[in-house]
Amino acid sequence: MPDSLPTASVLAPLKEKGLVLGLIGAGIQASRTPALHMAEAAAQGFPCVYRIIDLDRIPGGAATLPELLVAAERMGFAGLNITFPCKQQVIPLLDELSPEAAALGAVNTVVLRDGRRIGHNTDCSGFGESFRRGLPGVARGRVVQLGAGGAGSAVAQALLDAGVQRLAVHDVDAGRAGELAASLAARFGDGRAVPVADLAEEVAQADGLVNCTPVGMAKLPGMALPPAMLHGGLWVAEIVYFPLETALLAAARALGCRTLDGGGMAVFQAAHAFTHFSGLVPDAERMLAGFRAALRGG
């Protein structure tokens, strides 16, 4: 929406018709994203229905993604959030990509408008805002990132945008880590991103560690690296937010590390997606407060 468009002219049709949105991903029953969008829509004065489309509960799983997009369009959805494992798989099914989504090669937000599918990425800006607020002043010389998938691509860009000088990328698929590092180096300069050769050595020399894998989620407990590799000189960040206190963060805190949970990224990526879907600017502080209250059960 153009910045000059009056809020009232955007809000009027929303009050009349509301928004229908959805989240496509695997194992997402515990996602807080629907509640974030519906609560903010209610606070702004219009109805929003947000459906969870869990691939683990659909015969055919991720292979049904093309059909799910068609179904969403036919049912009048205004947009979809996309999560693991479809952030890259969805790209060939779209009509247009935002510049950031194209650069990252990953999409987490699809706007369905006028018969077109437009892909955006709000993971990058969401993590960047959370990192800026949650870990101010941390050393940014050498950082290790675990995970080179769709979310990892976005977080890596956010870290380099935030001034990290050398990002070492590790993934269980070494080829994928190499591809991400090469893509980042092409955009940010030689040496700014490298694939990990020896994880223990990289972590030992690092200022920070970021987990961009699903390991640590309630459905996939544990840590994406051996606990013995952690040391007190690290700051440690997560993108997992359910649970908010992962095994990695607990181990890091026990060593005295500064830590950042995945809640901030979850809220800020949702806030930025809300604008794409509705054309309105959300109250991110209100969304953050609601998110924290829901996790506390309040």
Confidence (pLDDT) at 197: 95
Task: Spell out the residues 6+ positions from residue 211 whose beta carbon is closer than 8 angstroms to its own.
Answer: 146, 147, 224, 236, 237, 238, 239, 240, 246, 248
pLDDT recorded at residue 10: 85
Spatial separation of the C-alpha atoms in residues 80 and 62, rounded to whole Å: 15
Structure tokens, 58 = 């659909």
Active site residue 15: no
Output the pLDDT for position 12. 85
CB of 223 closer than 8 Å to CB of 209: no
Identify the pLDDT of residue 13: 87
Query: Cα–Cα distance between 201 and 195 in angstroms, integer?
Result: 13
pLDDT at 22: 98
> How many CA atoms are closer than 13 Å to the CA of 103, on its beta-carbon side?
17
The pLDDT score that the predictor gives to residue 1 is: 37
Low-confidence ranges of the chain (pLDDT < 50): 1-5, 298
pTM over 0.95: no
Supply the pLDDT for residue 30.
87
Catalytic residue among 15, 17, 87, 219: 87
> What pLDDT score does 165 carry?
98
Q: Which stretches of 105-149 are DSSP H helices?
A: 123-134
Question: Nearest 5 degrees, angle CA 215-CA 213-CA 105?
Answer: 155
Per the CB < 8 A criterion, the answer to whether 236 and 257 are in contact is: yes
